[in-house]
Amino acid sequence: MSDTERTHGHTHTERADACAPAASARSVAEQLAIVLGSVEPLPPVRVALDEARGLVLAEDVLTVTDTPPFDNSAMDGYAVIRADLLEASAQNPITLPVVADLAAGTDQNPRLVPGQVARIMTGAPIPDGADAVVPIEDTDQGTEQVTILQAPKPAAHIRRAGEDAHAGDRVLRAGSVLWPTRVAAAASAGTSSVLVHPAPRVAVISTGSELVTPGSPTRRGQIPDSNSFLLSAAVAEAGGIPVRIGAVPDDDDVLRAVLTELAGQVDVIVLSGGVSVGAYDVVKAVLKPLGTVDFGPVKMQPGKPQGFGRWPATDSVPGPLIFALPGNPVSAYVSFEVFVRPALRRLLGQETLHRRTVTATVVDGWRSPPGRAQYMPVILTHRTADTEDGSAEGSTDGSTDSIEAHPASRGGSGSHLVAGLAQANGLAIVLEDTSHIRGGDLITVMLTS
């Protein structure tokens, strides 16, 4: 059958092949344990800082030199000997000769003797002898001589060498995600490249003889391929590098040839469609005989039929991981979120594998099939004016009553309802043994955007 997913939870309304899970069916937790048990962070590679954003460090980064490397000015102004200016004020301006002009980048070091100052710009090295900086705003901005209107505090506006980090200090820890400020920390530590877990290359293939490229004319029986776009975008958003192959027809030889060619080029292959028991379920037909991809059903809705494993090894090099997801777009998306995304995060070396969850209040209830965990696309909204104590919306103190969950499509979890899915910003998780969700119930929701 196709991955037609029910909206109602009565077992007796299901077709024979969709009845209570077979004895071999696994819970979501068991399936996830199998998936994550087969995945390790990709072996580290050294990349230039330009290529490092978003990747996870596989080494500590130590500073090469003190940061900053020398005492320097925090302001545009004048480097001074403070003892010369203890009496300076607006009422008692003090005028001194300017003996040097120090721009950022200069290597000049004019030794100041009492009674002398140097003009200095932000970031320029403090000359020997100077012990404070007077900001330009407290002067007449003179270049030959300058009149100073305020006494500087001790060490005013001097950034000390090593104040940020000392040579040899660890500025970034292995396991850190290189977001922009961390790329900058590596750069200012004097590092040009970092050892990271690379992003996995993920081939995305849709299967189905009914699929055409979006935008091409469709004849009766044809629909646009949306899954390869859905899953490629989701791969990129998870930090992977999508290689979108597009749609291949329900033809075993064609699919086998595509997979064989890709096997040496990518870390992961994500397929959609063709995993059920229909006459043309090409993915199952090609992969099951290999013996390296398991199609045991998962006790979830949607997403019950799906496969996970690897393409066979060549010369004892393991083949890419294979996720064979159901074809219905909602089923494919839910399965991606539940299994593929955590696996990609582990390949990336990320410590956080899972989406954040919140507890939300159900507005209108729905049904869920007993014996299967249900993932219901929902729209989460913050409740505003109607809090009992009149307090503001969106409290951040962990209280749960300010978020409401509505199913994203009127058809409930109908797995073909892509337009509704596009409005959802969460997946409500209904436990295996729950068959009714009622208005007012509290429910756990995985935040998907």
- For ligand AMP, the binding residues (CB under 6 A) are 2-3, 206, 208, 210-211, 223, 225-228, 272-274, 276, 278, 326-329
Q: What DSSP state is assigned to residue 423?
A: T
**Residue 198 within binding range of Mg ion, rule CB under 5 A:** no
Report the distance separating Cα 421 and Cα 237, nearest Å. 17
Binding mask 48-87 for Mg ion (x = CB under 5 A): ----------------------------------------
Least distance from C-beta 213 to ligand AMP, angstroms? Answer: 11
**Residue 208 within binding range of Mg ion, rule CB under 5 A:** yes
Residue 184: contacted member of ligand AMP, Mg ion, none (CB under 5 to 8 Å, by partner type)? none
Q: Which stretch binds Mg ion (CB under 5 A): 29-37, 126-134, 286-294, 319-327?
A: 319-327
Q: In 3D, which of 436, 329, 320, 334 has the Cα closest to residue 377?
A: 334
Least distance from C-beta 46 to ligand AMP, angstroms? Answer: 37
Pairing of strands 366-367, 321-325: unpaired
Nearest to Mg ion of 328, 448 (CB atom) = 328
Residue 307: contacted member of ligand AMP, Mg ion, none (CB under 5 to 8 Å, by partner type)? none
Contact 372, 304 (CB under 8 A): yes
Structure tokens at 307: 């496969």
- Helix/strand/coil (H, E, C) string of 265-309? CCCEEEEECCCCCCCCCHHHHHHHHHCCEECCCECEECCCCCEEE
Question: Which residues on adjacent β-strands are paired with residue 323?
Answer: 270, 308
Nearest to Mg ion of 240, 327 (CB atom) = 327
φ, ψ for residue 261 (rounded to 5)?
-70, -40
Report the distance separating Cα 419 and Cα 173, nearest Å. 43
Cβ-closest residue to ligand AMP?
A: 327
Residue 329: contacted member of Mg ion, ligand AMP, none (CB under 5 to 8 Å, by partner type)? ligand AMP
**Residue 273 within binding range of Mg ion, rule CB under 5 A:** yes
Residue 350: contacted member of ligand AMP, Mg ion, none (CB under 5 to 8 Å, by partner type)? none
Structure tokens at 222: 């044809």
Least distance from C-beta 278 to Mg ion, angstroms? Answer: 7
